[in-house]
Amino acid sequence: MMNATTNDDAIKTITTHYIDGAFVESHGRGVMDIVRPTDAQVIARVTLADEEDTRRAIAAAKLAFATYGHSIKEERAAILRRLHEAASAQIDDLTAAMVEEYGGVVQFAEPILQTGIGAFLAAEKALQEMEWTRSWDKTTVTLEPVGVAGLITAWNATALFICLKLASAVAAGCTVVIKPSELSSLQTRVLVEALHKANLPKGLLNVVTGLGNVVGAELVRHPDVDKISFTGSVAVGQSIMRDGAATMKRITLELGGKSPTILLDDAELGQAIPAALTMAFMNSGQACAAGTRLLVPKNRLEAVKQAIRGAMQAFLVGDPADPKTAVGPMVSQKQYERVQSYIRKGIEDGAELLVGGEGRPAGFEAGYFVKPTVFVNVKNDMTIAREEIFGPVLSVITYESEDEAIEIANDSKYGLHAAVIGTDAQRSRRVASQLRAGRVVINGMTDDPQAPWGGFKYSGIGREYGRYGINAFLETRAILEG
C-alpha cells in the first residue's frame, strides 16, 4: 500500500467553476487532493462543486439556450472554428497536464489531444454537410437542438471527451454543463481557460468539477437538463439510464469494452504482433477500445508467443513524458490494485503467464506502475477474458477455424471495438462484417473523424463523432400545413 505524500509549497489550488462565462468561487466546500501517478505526490487541491453550483450552471445553460437554440448554421460554424483555434493554442500545456496529472504517455497524449481539438473542425464539416431541413408537399421537417445537455466524462482522456461532446452539442445548437472526471481537474482547467478565450455566448459552456454522486447525479435528476452524454463505466451508465427515466432524459452512453483482435492465419507476424500489442497497451491499457483479447490460430501459437516476447522489448515502461515510453503508470492507487487483482486472478484461473506478472517493474517503485502483462492459453470464459481490466493486460486465446474466431470474438457482453489483421483483404472484410462491434479496424488502428464511435450491447447506446455525434443532440420536428 502506498500513501500519497504532500509538499505544500509546490501544490496548485483550484477553487472556482466556470459558470455563465466566468470563473466563479465554489459554493461546495469539499476539497480533494490530486495525486501525481508517477510518484504519488499531491500536486493540487481542488474545491469540489455541490448541487447548488450545479443548479447555477444549469440555470445559466437554460438561459443561454433561449437564444443559442435559435442560432443559425453560420453562427454555430463560427463558434466551432473559434473553439478550435482557442484549444489549438494550448496543445502543449494540455499535453503537459495530461502527462503530469494522469500519467498519460506523451506518445498517446499528443495524438489523442489532436483528435479532440480536431473534433471542433470535424463537427463544423458535418454541420455544413447535414440536411437540416427537408420539405415535400406541405410538410417541412427540421432538426432541432434537444436543449440543455449534461456532459459527463471519464478520466482516461478527459480533454478528448470534453472537446468531442462539446463540438457535437454546439453544432446541434445545444448549451452544456460539463461534469469532468474529478481526477482530471488540472487538465480540465487548462482546457477551459483556453476555451474561455473563444469568446462564447455567456452560458453556452459551463463546467462544474465535483463528485459523480453529487454533481453528476444532480445533472441526471434535474428537469431542466434535456440530455445526458456520458463516458464511463457500465455500472454508472446503467444508473444514469435508470435515474434519467424520471425526467425522460435523452441519453448517450459510451461505456466499456473487451475488444477482440483477430489474427488471421495469413497474417505476417512481424507486423501483426506489434500492431496487436499497440492496440492492447494503448493509453497504458486504460482505453475503452483496447484490444485486450488476441485471437490467434491454434497452429501458430508457438510462433505468436515468440513474436510477442520479441516485440515486448519495444513496449517500454517509464516516465510518461519520455517519447520512448509506451506504458506509463496507472491513474491511481485504486486502479493499480484493480490491475494487480486481475493479474492474480489470471494466474489462479490457470492462464499461462508469458510476460509481466504481479507487482511493480524494477526501478518504478514510487508510483502506480504495473508490468505490461500477456497471458496465453486463456479460455474465453475466464474472468480475465470477460471483464474489462483497464490496464495493460492482454489475453491470448486460440481458435481452430475462421468461424470459431468470429464466435469467440462475439462471445462477450461488450461490443465497442474490434480488429482484424490479415493479408487477404477480401477475407479480412468478410470477417470484419460479422463482428458485433460499433467499430472494426482492419490491419491496425486508423482514425476518421467522421466515422461513428460507440458500442453494441453493454458498450453503450448511441454514437459520437461527425454527423452521428451531432444527431445525438437533436430532435426532429415536422410541420404540416392544411
- Binding-site ranges for ligand NAD (CB under 6 A): 152-156, 179, 181-182, 211-213, 216-217, 220, 231-233, 236, 239-240, 254-257, 288, 388, 390, 416, 460
The x, y and z cell numbers of residue 352, run together, are 499461462
Q: How far is the CB of 236 from ligand NAD (least distance, A)?
A: 3
Give 254's strand partners: 231, 460
To ligand NAD, the closest distance from the beta carbon of 215 in angstroms equals 8
CB atoms within 10 A of CB 355: 17
Helix 301-311 to helix 269-281 angle (10° resolution) is: 60
From the list 254, 268, 358, 475, the catalytic residue is 254
Alpha helices by DSSP H, listed for 173-326, are 185-196, 217-221, 234-244, 269-281, 301-311
Find the shortest distance in angstroms from Cβ 458 to ligand NAD: 10
What the block records as the C-alpha cell of 157 is 482522456
CA atoms of 151 and 158, how far apart (whole Å): 11
Residues with Cβ within 8 Å of residue 10, at least 6 apart in sequence: 41, 43
Closest approach, Cβ 183 to ligand NAD, in A, equals 7
Give me the residues paired with residue 76 across strands: none
Of 76, 100, 55, 16, which is closest to residue 321 (Cα–Cα)?
A: 100
Which of the following is catalytic: 288, 407, 464, 475? 288
Minimal distance, residue 452 CB to ligand NAD, in Å: 11
CB closer to ligand NAD out of 94 and 198: 94
For ligand NAD, the closer CB: 236 or 421:
236
Closest C-alpha to 153, from 215, 68, 221, 201: 215
CA distances in angstroms from 295 to 263, 299, 314, 346, 378, listed in the order given: 6, 12, 21, 17, 10
Question: Crossing angle of helices 158-172/73-88, nearest 10°?
Answer: 160
Cβ-based nearer residue to ligand NAD, 354 or 409: 409
| Smallest separation, CB 396 to ligand NAD (Å) | 21
Minimum Å distance from CB 138 to ligand NAD?
A: 42
Residue 433 beta carbon to ligand NAD: minimum distance, rounded to whole angstroms: 22
Tell me the residue ranges of DSSP E strands in 156-213.
Answer: 175-179, 205-207
Q: What are 45's strand-pairing partners? A: 13, 33
Nine-digit cell string for 86: 482557442
List, in sequence order, the alpha helices (H) in 197-332.
217-221, 234-244, 269-281, 301-311
Distance of CA 288 to the CA centre of its chain: 6
- Yes or no: say if 287 and 425 are a contact pair by the CB < 8 Å rule: no
Nearer to ligand NAD, 93 or 387 (CB): 387
- Cβ-based nearer residue to ligand NAD, 219 or 275: 219
Please confirm, yes or no, whether 163 is among the known catalytic residues.
no
Contact 422, 428 (CB under 8 A): yes
Nearest distance from C-beta of residue 313 to ligand NAD, angstroms = 28
* Range 166-205 burial, b when 16+ CB lie within 10 A, else e: bbbbbbbbbbbbbbbbbbbbbbbbbbbebbbebebebbbb
Which residue of the chain is nearest ligand NAD when measured via CB? 212
d(CA 296, CA 277): 13
Closest CA to 65 of 132, 127, 147, 144: 147
Active site residues: 254, 288
